[in-house]
Amino acid sequence: MFKVTINGREVEVSEGTTILEAAGQAGVYIPTLCYLKDVNEIASCRICVVEVEGQDELVAACNTPVVDGMVVRANTSRVRTARKENLALILSTHNVECTTCIRSGNCKLQTLSNDFNMGAFAAPSFEGVPAAQDWPQDFPLIRDASKCIRCMRCVNICERVQASGVWKATPAGGVDVAAASIEESPCTLCGQCITHCPVGALTARDDTARVFAAINDPDTITVVQVAPAVRAAWAESWGIPREEATPGRMASALRRIGFDYVFDTDWSADLTIMEEGSEFVARVKNAENETFPMFTSCCPGWVRYIKAQWPQYVDQLSTAKSPQQMFGAAAKTWFAEKEGIDPNKIFCMSVMPCVAKKHECALENMNDAGAGQDVDLSVTTREMARMLRECGIDPRELEEEEFDNPLGNATGAGVIFGATGGVMEAALRSAYFLVTGENPDPDAFRDVRGLDGWKEATFDLAGIPLRVAVASGLANTNRLLAALDAGEVQYDFVEIMACPGGCAGGGGQPIHDGQELAGVRGDILYGLDKHADLRFSHENPTVLQAYEEYFGAPCGERPHHLLHSDHHDWSMPHK
Amino acid sequence: MSKLSVAPASRADAKIAGFMERYQRRIEATPPGTCPVAVQLTLLEAGASQTCGKCVPCRDGLPQLAAMIKRVLDCDADKAALDEIRSLATMIRDSADCAIGYNAAADVLDGLDAFAAEYESHVMAHTCCDDIAQKVPCEAMCPAHVNVPAYIALVAEGDYAGAVQMVRKDNPFPTACALVCEHPCEERCRRTLIDAPINIRGIKKYAVDSCAADKAPVPARLPESGRKVAVVGAGPSGLTCAYYLALMGHAVDVFESRDKLGGMLRYGIPAYRFPRERLDEDVNAILSVGGITVTTNCYVDADKMRELADSYDAVYVAIGAHTGKSLRLENIDAQGVSSAVDLLRAIGDGDYPDFTGKKVAIIGGGNVAMDCCRTSVRAGAEEVTCVYRRRLEDMTALPAEVEGAMAEGVEMVTLEAPVAIEVDGEGKVCGLRTQPQMIGEVKRGRPAPVTADKPENHIDADIILIAVGQDIVSAPFEEFGMPAERGCFRASEGLEAEGLEGVFVGGDCQTGPASAIMAIGAGKVAARNIDAYLGYNHTLDCGVEAPAAKPNNRTACGRVNITERPARERKRDFEYIENPMSREEAVQECGRCLRCDHYGCGVLEGGRIQYV
């Protein structure tokens, strides 16, 4: 153990601890900007500089390990001046338009500028905000170079956590797309670069105006579905306790925005289990003619990733559409028919913890209901929160309300789709039933829960040993696929979610700089499952009703047409 | 695809090396008179261009700092800008992550202090300091401001007498400088931009080898002025002063304490580097002007100095630096220990030592130490060891001198500090005890040695020569009333002795031990200023003119270097060591001259430093 003194407070820390971590233990706050634990420890912004006794120069707290007896001063005039001057330099190349910036109020640079009272700091008259780069504004991911502070978080998270390498550092210290353009890059639209950008340089396309336009059109019937993970995060920016930010209040909030029908993607998650579970059981029964593992297909970031990086495995993806798309197909067919609504009048939209969903819903092979896009628009959890604020809806003031029916009915199995391992667990619950005709213990497959990036388990499915794996985060996924490719591992069924921790940590979720909340949000979802009346997708009454009234049998003719897709209909630029 | 590649990390890196050499040559050829703020800016911009872009202080700070300095350079900033520059540079130095950033900022901070006057002038007077203006490099760098392009062109035309006369316009020691000059004229030679500096000394040597200095007629003396000037010291500075004063028509009496003329050129430089008969060529030419009387073996003390000051219209004191510095070592007075100065002085009077069978150790690393080493070799020493407390590359001797000594068999023992002289029972030297050193931190611009944790060493020696610098015998002149500081006489930039009317002082005794050409330059300045002090402004006609410039030859070409006689042969005698340059070599070398007197700033009014 090393003894370290920081601002006069002595603390004992283990060898290898950085000054920043030691300061945390000593209760001393040291500001950071570029720092992202384990991902971006490059000490480039120099905001965390401190004085170390015996050293002439200031040192970066974030990546300097302490030594025994080190005396650190983190709050001297020299330290604060250096931080301010560096901040002034950063501001000099930053397009400061805080009033209209989407990150206003949730911007690390803005916070630091306020903390350091930069308005009163007489910085020299610097010049040179870079011009905003040409960017396809219809792409779900938007980059504004004039706001980039070149902290390199995006470069490192994309390469190290998501194994995609979309961003590169340019020789002069800028950031650019590594490919010829973002459309020609292997970008999975996971959105992790957005949620880890400290400023407003990386954002998701804002589609709220289109939502309000649809709501305001009296001839349009607006139908909204909400993804499982959204309920675990939607009210975070109001700072209310998680137990109070219930799905019921969320349904109420959406209804107040003005949607005609407030439905739940959990319902179509159950539908997905019926299709994907049946598909898997069919593949198992036809094992000699099939190639394993079968991969889940509900995460569009993952689908984009496999197409870009491992195209040889595309045929092993489940053909089942994602819950978002199954919902759209069901809403504009069975629901419309049942309610006697012209599906062409339905504006079907989704609230997703995801940026890639914006791309998925616009795919041309996703308009099987014959009334335009099955899902007309997808907005992120962040956009939903912005709409609530614009409408003056305070989640703290809302009463609990039910989702509308029939597409608002869901089981615990549908809820856990929002966490890593959840799709696998839900699928196994129903697959067990499909094979044995009996329900297993709903928690029988809990081994696939948790935040490990690559989990493995073997379950006994009525005498058939079933080897499953679950990965989240694309670098973990890449390791899994490489091992699979090398023959080092064999699986029957593999669940992949592009974002670390699954949709709970999705790229469309609220941003809390420096915090990874996938675990906390995932726990909310597992809690909802635990207390749910129904915990098996095959017991969802309105799902069964839909089969009975409209779809027929899972994986049958109509589901094949409406609820499955051909992955070869579109492709990604290959690496 | 293969996983590894032998290709360089960056393909351009392989090619960039050649351009780094160009970069270096560009910097080496920085024209004298360039504004230091401009040099600072380019240095900073070089730093900014090297940023990897990772860190804010370097990536954003250096360009902003450069923009601020650019505004100062453009005289578009006020005094507050200097504080802003210092503040930002300090922050970058303190908080940048790597040397690219913090060192670039440190350079700025050091420059703010080193060039404080220049920065101040830019923000206050909104102009450069008065002395900032580009000059022709060779003649500006030469302390005597010799018209180098002109005499090179004369050599090219085969007019060697004309070349000698052109040199003598500013420097009456063409032969001395042809053989032993440290040639600062070559340091910033613009030819460096294309290939390498012109071998200016070599060309001058070819001129004096082709036409002895005393065969090229000196100009006619101007009519007698009737004024008398005394010159104390017949070294290069004193004789230069005497030469020009005599040409101007003044009567000059030279007082020399030794037997012969030439000062350190005779009593400090061994004959193998500067044969005495070659020195005589310069001295003969100087004396041939007429109007110069020389009194040798005349030691000027305080009384004599008072007499000279009273009886002459002006006095020029140029007594040089002739006392060897000593070391505080045990047994320093032992038999067999002597100073380098004493050894070389004896040789100057023709008294060559015989070191046959002896082991000689020389303490020091300057040119005088090398002279002692190589003289000892020629005097038959069995072993010659040069003991120096720093590293080889820290020696102040010219690299060519060190290499020459090593080629002749001198053993260089570096990083050893003398501790004590060891003596035998009869009190004679038998060795030198040394303490090993380790090179350490840079202090005052040079890496300083520190005591190493190693045991002392012993070096066998029968003779020990101390060559650690020279002192000036200033006491008699201080008694007369000339103020001195650290042994050097104080004088104005016009070489007027401080607080005295009509007394001028220059050369080694005013600057401390330096080069012949600096002493010569001082002698010329003194002559000009004495002439003015006497109420005149004589102009002198050297009798030759610079030939018209030819177009530049821009084809890169190697520099012709002067070769030496084989070491195994030359070390056996005191004969001159250099081989002559051939006519074809000299012509090629002259052809590389870019004639900066005609091209570039040389044709501008004020673009040259030339006296008439």
Q: Is A397 exposed, middle or buried (0-12, 13-18, 19+ CB in 10 A)?
A: exposed
User: What number is the average pLDDT over the span B570-590?
Assistant: 96
Q: Which residue of A has its CA nearest to B90?
A: A82
B61–A86 CB contact, under 8 Å = yes
Average pLDDT over chain B, rounded to whole? Answer: 94
- Contact residues, A window 24-43, toward B, CB-based 8 Å cutoff: 42-43
Distance from CA of A92 to the nearest CA of B (A): 8
A/B interface, count of CB pairs below 8 Å:
80
Distance separating the N- and C-terminal Cα atoms of chain B? 74
User: What number is the average pLDDT over the span B339-353?
Assistant: 91
Secondary structure of A458-514 in HEC code, one letter for each residue? EEEECCEEEEEEEEECHHHHHHHHHHHHCCCCCCCEEEEECCCCHHHHCCCCCCCCC
Length of chain B: 612
Helix, strand, coil in percent for chain B, rounding step 5: 40, 15, 45
Q: CA B416: distance to chain centroid?
A: 27
A86–B97 CB contact, under 8 Å = no
User: What number is the average pLDDT over the span A265-281?
Assistant: 96
- The pLDDT of residue A461 is above 90: no
Q: For strand B463-466 and strand B337-339, is the pairing parallel, antiparallel, or unpaired?
A: parallel
Distance from CA of B278 to the nearest CA of A (A): 57
Global confidence as pTM: 0.84
- The pLDDT of residue A546 is above 80: yes
CA distance B172 to B262: 12
- CATH T-level fold of A2-92: Ubiquitin-like (UB roll) (3.10.20)
Q: CA B611: distance to chain centroid?
A: 21
Of A49, A56, A172, the CB nearest to B53: A172
Is the CB of A161 inside 8 Å of chain B's CB atoms?
A: no
Mutate to test the interface with B, among A32, A83, A89 (most CBs of B within 10 A): A89
Identify the structural domains of chain B with CATH numbers, from first to last.
34-124 (1.20.1440.230), 137-217+543-603 (1.10.1060), 228-322+472-533 (3.50.50.60), 324-471 (3.50.50.60)
Q: Which residue of A has its CA nearest to B57?
A: A86
B53–A92 CB contact, under 8 Å = no
Contacts of B84 in chain A (CB under 8 A): 124
ipTM entry: 0.80
CA distance B451 to B439: 9
Of B55, B87, B94, the CB nearest to A57: B94
For A171-225, what is each residue's pLDDT tens digit? 878 899 999 999 999 999 999 999 999 999 999 999 999 999 999 999 999 999 9
pLDDT of residue A534: 96
- The pLDDT of residue B504 is above 70: yes
Of A82, A126, A173, the CB nearest to B91: A82
B184-201 in b/e form (b: 16+ CB < 10 A) is bbbbbbbbbbbebbbbbb
Length of chain A: 575
Phi, psi (rounded to 5 degrees) for A173: 95, 10
pLDDT of residue A168: 93
Contacts of A42 in chain B (CB under 8 A): 54
Question: CATH 3.40.950.10 region(s) of chain A?
Answer: 268-321+409-569
- Contact residues, A window 395-424, toward B, CB-based 8 Å cutoff: none
- The pLDDT of residue B601 is above 90: no
CA distance B145 to B141: 7
Distance from CA of B9 to the nearest CA of A (A): 13
pLDDT of residue B132: 85
CA dihedral B527, B529, B535, B540 (to 10 degrees): 50
Contacts of A40 in chain B (CB under 8 A): none
- The pLDDT of residue A123 is above 90: no
pLDDT band per the 50, 70, 90 thresholds, residue A127: confident
Asked whether the CA dihedral B600, B605, B611, B612 is positive or negative, the reply is positive
CA distance A6 to B329: 51
Contacts of B52 in chain A (CB under 8 A): 171, 173
Contacts of A82 in chain B (CB under 8 A): 91, 94-95
CA distance A62 to A57: 15
CA distance B280 to B258: 15
Distance from CA of A55 to the nearest CA of B (A): 10
Residues 6+ apart with CB under 8 A from A505: A472, A499, A516, A517, A518, A521
DSSP, collapsed to helix, strand or coil, labels residue B128 as: coil
Is the CB of A49 inside 8 Å of chain B's CB atoms?
A: yes
Q: CA B407: distance to chain centroid?
A: 24
- The pLDDT of residue A235 is above 90: yes
Distance from CA of A123 to the nearest CA of B (A): 9
pLDDT of residue B17: 84
Contacts of A60 in chain B (CB under 8 A): 97
A45–B55 CB contact, under 8 Å = yes
DSSP string, B438-505: EEEEEETTEEEEEE-SS--EEEE-SEEEE-S-EE---HHHHHHT--EETTEE-B-TT-BBTT-SSEEE
pLDDT of residue B428: 95
Task: Point out which residues pair with A366 in neighbouring strands.
Answer: none
DSSP, collapsed to helix, strand or coil, labels residue B302 as: helix
- Among the listed residues A546, A113, A161, A110, the one whose alpha carbon sits nearest the alpha carbon of residue A331: A546
User: What number is the average pLDDT over the span A23-46?
Assistant: 96
Q: Which residue of B has its CA nearest to A94?
A: B60
A57–B93 CB contact, under 8 Å = yes
Q: Identify each DSSP E strand in A8-70 by its residue range.
A: 9-13, 49-52, 59-60
Q: Is A111 exposed, middle or buried (0-12, 13-18, 19+ CB in 10 A)?
A: middle
pLDDT band per the 50, 70, 90 thresholds, residue B14: confident
- The pLDDT of residue B1 is above 60: no
Question: CATH 3.10.20.740 region(s) of chain A?
Answer: 2-92
pLDDT of residue B496: 97
pLDDT of residue A27: 96
A92–B51 CB contact, under 8 Å = no
CA distance B344 to B261: 15
Distance from CA of B61 to the nearest CA of A (A): 6
Average pLDDT over chain A, rounded to whole? Answer: 95
Contacts of B59 in chain A (CB under 8 A): 44, 150, 172-173
- Contact residues, A window 320-379, toward B, CB-based 8 Å cutoff: none
Of B52, B64, B68, the CB nearest to A173: B52
- The pLDDT of residue B185 is above 90: yes
Distance from CA of A78 to the nearest CA of B (A): 9
Of A46, A58, A128, the CB nearest to B56: A46
pLDDT of residue A91: 93
- CATH architecture classification, A268-321+409-569: 3-Layer(aba) Sandwich (3.40)
- The pLDDT of residue A67 is above 90: yes
pLDDT of residue B611: 73
- The pLDDT of residue B612 is above 70: no
Q: Is A391 exposed, middle or buried (0-12, 13-18, 19+ CB in 10 A)?
A: middle
User: What number is the average pLDDT over the span B179-205?
Assistant: 97
Mutate to test the interface with A, among B1, B52, B94 (most CBs of A within 10 A): B94
Q: For strand A49-52 and strand A71-73, is the pairing parallel, antiparallel, or unpaired?
A: antiparallel
B237 half-sphere exposure, CB direction, 13 A CA radius:
31
A173–B96 CB contact, under 8 Å = no
Report the range of poorest mean pLDDT among B538-547, B567-576, B602-611.
B602-611
- Contact residues, A window 69-98, toward B, CB-based 8 Å cutoff: 78, 81-82, 85-86, 89-90, 92-93
- The pLDDT of residue B364 is above 70: yes
Q: Which residue of B has its CA nearest to A122?
A: B84
Q: Which residue of A has its CA nearest to B93?
A: A57
User: What number is the average pLDDT over the span B359-386?
Assistant: 96
Contacts of B61 in chain A (CB under 8 A): 85-86, 89
Contacts of A173 in chain B (CB under 8 A): 51-54, 59
Residues 6+ apart with CB under 8 A from B315: B229, B230, B231, B232, B305, B308, B309, B502, B503, B504
